[in-house]
Amino acid sequence: MSNVEVIEKMYHCFRDADMETLKKEIFHPDILWHLPGRHPIAGTKKGINEVLGFFGALKKLGLKVTPMGISDIDKDTVAEFYRGSGEANGAIMDAFNCNFYRIQDNKIVEVTVFMSNQHNYDDFCWAAFKLKPVPDCLI
């Protein structure tokens, strides 16, 4: 399977909510997923369980991710341009973004996301992901 095919299979699994195939065939167990921003789901997801949790949260939102172009950059890096769109609690997100994937042994080991409209994505996520009340979110 080519590196581009790995990314295409990831999208197929995401659309079908096939987290088991993502876990077994697509994501490296120690995957890192870097998501920029100042919102509740920003930051680096470390390991397959955090990334799958992140995917599950995006799926529940009904977030649509439409690939616009995918290309090999070198032997272990793929760049992808995509449109992200959705509506949650009155907030609308519609942006073109870019991901860089690092592939090793046909598995995704690291993803870095670049947002075209970070403020819009931050606002959307704050509307979509409500935090628990203070007593429940403090340790």
CA–CA gap between residue 122 and residue 90 (Å, rounded)? 14
SS3 36: coil
Q: What is the DSSP code (8-state) at residue 8?
A: H
Non-local (6+) Cβ contacts of 106 within 8 A are: 1, 3, 6
Q: What integer pLDDT is reported at residue 31 of this predicted model?
A: 98
The residue among 88, 82, 81 whose CA lies nearest residue 39 is 88
All structural domains of the chain with their residue ranges = 3-137
In this prediction, residue 138 has a pLDDT band, given cuts at 50, 70 and 90, of low
Whole-prediction pTM: 0.89
The residue among 27, 90, 24 whose CA lies nearest residue 54 is 27
Average pLDDT, the chain: 91
For 12-53, write each residue's pLDDT tens digit: 998 888 999 999 999 999 999 999 999 888 999 999 999 999
User: 3-137, what's its fold?
Assistant: Nuclear Transport Factor 2; Chain: A, (3.10.450)
Side-chain-side CA neighbours of 14 within 13 Å: the count stands at 23
For 73-127, write each residue's pLDDT tens digit: 999 999 999 999 999 889 899 999 999 999 999 999 999 999 999 999 999 988 9
For 56-78, write each residue's pLDDT tens digit: 888 777 788 898 999 999 999 99
Strands 27-35 and 77-88, by their bridges, are: unpaired
42-to-30, 36, 48, 69, 78 alpha-carbon distances in Å:
18, 5, 16, 24, 22
